Amino acid sequence: MEKKSTGLVAILVIVLVLVIDQASKIWVKTNMSLYESIEITSWFKIYFVENNGMAFGMEVIGKMFLSIFRIVAIVFIGYYLYKLVKTGYKTGYIVCISLILAGAFGNIIDSVLYGEIFSASYPGNVASLVPLGEGYSSWLHGKVVDMLYFPLIEGTFPSWVPSWGGQPFVFFSAIFNIADSAITVGIFILLIFYRKTLALSLEKKDKA
């Protein structure tokens, strides 16, 4: 009974994250032009950008390789989560892995599908849904939609600071999405509260 309940919790977490993530991305994609911003508060804005890379807009490897890597990672994490539920691990640990899986899955949907079903976004133009295959790119080459921006502190470097003196700066300039948040929260809680559980689970997997 406990295994069944943890399995349902995992499914609920994954579905909830995916629904919120995709709903927010589709709304932004079809209601805002690229680089358009909506100010919620002085320290929180909805700022529409797209990226080809990993979480928080990092771009370090080719798009095709990245998309394939994400798909492979999702398969492995999904199998790992299945084994955790089947073995009867703690609900909190399973929630962490579910958050990471959901976040990775949320971004791979953008990469795999968005290029096929959306027209291009660019400054002054709001994208729209188009028939499959008539989008701005091909399978596995879609761009990930980011929109959460928290410029907590904005200012200018003092003139005496080498190289950056007099230049503007923003504390926490990363722009991200719900999927990125799920991955980050899952990893953070995992490392703070479940490091031993993670080590033991991986040790058992190696022995198996």
C-alpha closest to that of 94 among 107, 82, 108: 82
**Cα–Cα distance for residue pair 193/166, rounded to 1 Å:** 42
The yes-or-no answer on residue 110 being catalytic is: no
Catalytic pick from 21, 110, 180, 206?
180
Q: Given 21, 110, 146, 206, which residue is catalytic? A: 146
What SS3 string covers 23-66? HHHHHHHHHCECCCEEEEECCEEEEEEEECCCHHHCCCCCHHHH
180: annotated active-site residue: yes
Strand (E) positions, 78-177? 144-149, 153-156, 168-171, 175-176
Question: To 5 degrees, how large is the angle CA 17–CA 183–CA 27?
Answer: 45
Name the strand (E) or helix (H) holding 202.
helix 195-207
Structure tokens at 192: 């703070």
- The residues annotated with a catalytic role in the active site are 146, 180
